[in-house]
Amino acid sequence: MNKAPGLKIIIITFITLLLSIALYIIWYFQIEKITTQELKSIQNQLLNKNVNFTWEHEHKSGFPYRIEKELNNINIKFKNINLSTEKLKIIYQPWNKKHIIFLIPNNIAIKYNQESIIVNNSNLLASLIIDKLSHIKASIVSDEISLNFPRENYDFNKVEIYFKTSAEEQFKFAILLEKLSFPPLFIKKNIINTLYLDGEVIKYKKFDINNYYSWLSKEGGIDIKNFKLEFSDTNVNGNAFVSVDENYNFQNTLSIYSNNLNNVFSLLEQDNFISKNTLKKANLIINALEVASELSNKQATFSINILSGYLYLMGIKLIKVPNLKSFL
């Protein structure tokens, strides 16, 4: 008779456990259904912006701890740009479907007109968090990424990209790259130790992927609050603002300080981007400002502007700068 209450407790506990498991399974597959609908919604939203995002088939896994969707043979096409990869894994946490993890374990092929680029990556991992107000916080990291062009290869040993949006229409970003053998053209024979950018995109909500020229020339721009460039024995630090005018000429303002700015212009001359006379003029301006700053016990700060297709150092015209359309 004394065992009956204990038996009832065991039975009740067992039934409660079964009900809990059943409810979790129902809830899990309901969440999985919602995530499938959201993926389809994203596909339709991109299509409305003339971006065609397709895949051949998908594989579901992860039960019971997470929801994993592996998309196979992905293809993304926008105008004359085509991007494809073999697999893309999307990972959801059932208890927080607003946090999504993306994993690309294989190469990415990019075709632009007649150009072809293969991106080799070391398990590129991305995290996306969307809060109740639809603000976004995201990160993209990889230990190693290589860009393989038909005749050249460029390596990034470490890549970290972070960005977030806010109610104030701000799109803030931070980019950290280490040990690059894909430096800007003017230092292509050197390896960059560090490239860091921290800033925000102006009026990002008015950005139109189908008319980004107009947005960049009339509405938006990139405000770089802080940047750092380290290569060889040269350090360059400062801030900048980047946009274009109605003719798609770059409109840039930079305020920088450096321990060896002459080296940057020497590399430009070595790669035939500027003449020897331009190099002499730049060195004269740099040396004069450094001497004046040293006499006043201040750090030399250099002003570089790009206006109407020309680069100016401390207000003095130095070189012609290519139009934005020449890069696209």
Residue 285 scores a pLDDT above 90: yes
Q: What is the pLDDT of residue 182?
A: 56
Confidence band (pLDDT; 50, 70, 90) for 116? confident
pLDDT of residue 313: 92
Res 125 pLDDT > 80: yes
Is the per-residue pLDDT at 43 higher than 90? no
> CA 82 → CA 89, 122, 149, 294, distances in Å?
20, 21, 15, 53
Using CA atoms, how far apart are residues 254 and 314, in angstroms rounded to an integer? 10
Contact of 154 with 181, CB cutoff 8 Å: yes
- Categorize the per-residue pLDDT at 237 as very low, low, confident or very high, splitting at 50, 70 and 90: very high
The two three-digit tokens of residue 78, written as one number: 């926008």
pLDDT (0 to 100) of residue 39 = 81
The residue-averaged pLDDT of 140-154 equals 81
Q: Report the share of the chain in percent with pLDDT over 70.
A: 93
C-alpha 296/C-alpha 275 separation (Å) is 32
Q: What is the arithmetic mean of pLDDT over 252-266?
A: 90
Phi and psi angles of residue 65, each rounded to the nearest 5 degrees, phi first: -85, -30
**pLDDT tens, residue by residue, 164-208:** 987 666 789 999 888 776 555 555 566 778 889 999 988 888 887
Beta strands per DSSP E along the chain:
51-54, 57-61, 67-78, 81-93, 96-104, 108-112, 115-121, 124-130, 136-142, 145-148, 153-165, 171-180, 192-202, 221-231, 234-244, 250-258, 302-307, 310-313, 316-320
Q: What count of other Cβ atoms lies within 10 Å of the Cβ of residue 220?
A: 21
Q: Which two tokens stand for residue 311?
A: 């680069």
Model pLDDT, residue 185: 55
Least trusted range by pLDDT, from 211-215, 280-284, 307-311: 211-215
Average pLDDT over residues 104-132: 83
Are 306 and 315 in contact by the 8 Å Cβ rule? The answer is no
Residue 226 has pLDDT above 90, yes or no: yes
Question: Average pLDDT of 3-27?
Answer: 76
pLDDT at 6 over 60: yes
Rounded to the nearest integer, the mean pLDDT of the chain is 83
Question: Rg for the chain (alpha carbons), in Å?
Answer: 27
Instruction: Tell which residue, 168, 203, 197, has the closest CA to residue 184.
Output: 197
Number of Cβ atoms within 10 Å of the Cβ of 313: 21
Rounded to two decimals, the pTM is: 0.78
Structure confidence at residue 328 (pLDDT): 59
DSSP 8-state assignment for residue 218: I
Of 262 and 150, the one with more pLDDT: 262
Burial status of residue 4 (CB atoms within 10 A of its CB: 0-12, 13-18, 19 or more): exposed
